[in-house]
Amino acid sequence: MTRIAIAGAAGRMGRNLVVACSEADDLELTQALEREQSPALGSDTGLLAGQAPNNVLIHDRLDSTTFDILIDFTHPSATTNHIDYCVEHGKKMVIGTTGCDTTLEQKMQSAGQSIAILYAPNMSVGVNLCLELLRTAATVLGDSVDIEVIEAHHRHKVDAPSGTALKMGQVIAETLGRNLDECAVYGREGQTGARDRQTIGFESIRAGDIVGDHTVMFADEGERIEITHKASSRMTFARGAMRACRWIEQQQKGVFSMQDILKTR
């Protein structure tokens, strides 16, 4: 039985992770973590997730003796600290935190020299299939189309564009031999002039309780192709994280992605 710790266990995603872990016969939730002074400290994670009590209470610090893999869907600052802890204690990680900058991604790569990490801004099998479809579309269509990435999330999401949207843009840019840092355009306003076909546009919507919608548009004159993924439940991501735990348990060290699990590359 693989022992699982969940960071941010009282949050929207954390509660779904608790449920997904309870559904798994081969995974056991043994630790739950929240920030210091969180009102959820001391709470039973089963009750918080709308289930029967499971006697796994929320604490504000990890105990390395009682978990094998840490699942982290929190905030870049918290994830940074959790990586340091897991490297020090030789624990594996599944990271779904979004809004990670280059510095944090480099930290993951460094940590991967001693522990196994699976990092994916989106754990959905469907989204990761879409990434492969985007590679194919970009290869076939090349520079003959305008490319726009449109994403929508709930009103509480704090980063924009979403990590998934940025990953989609990165996949397309790499396929076309572009540097996303140089060609990305984030929103438009005022007299912007004619569109540069070498750019990749991003638009972000924040409204209501939208779980996560992503559409990539490849538009030419006379036709356009749209590749869309819509998530209606966070359990999609939570179950993907459980799949990631099973896979990363078999790895000794390195940084991996969902594509490695799905063998799409």
Indicate which residues carry an active-site annotation: 153, 157
**H/E element, 29:** strand 27-33
Residues 200 and 143: beta-carbon distance below 8 Å:
no
Cis peptide before 161 (omega within 30 of 0): yes
What does the alpha-carbon distance between residue 31 and residue 29 come to, in Å, rounded to a whole number?
6
How many C-beta neighbours within 10 Å does residue 87 have? 18
